[in-house]
Amino acid sequence: MLIQYIIISIIVLASLSYAGKKLYEIFRHQQDKCYGCSGCTIHDQLMKQKVFGKVRPTCYHKK
């Protein structure tokens, strides 16, 4: 019976840490519109737009 509680607590802890990691990544990159992009045409269209007074979106994975 004790082993079942240990296994359940390990599974719950692993799932909570995974969810926490994903939430951290979402909040960390919320201003980056190209998060995870490897240089697509949407990034090129965003860069062509004339945006005055606002921060231009950046893509760290652009080729």
pTM of the model: 0.52
pLDDT on residue 26: 83
- Reported as a single tens digit per residue, the pLDDT across 7-55 is 999 999 999 999 999 999 888 877 766 665 656 776 666 666 655 445 5
DSSP per residue, 4-43: HHHHHHHHHHHHHHHHHHHHHHHHHTTT-TTTT-SS-HHH
pLDDT on residue 63: 47
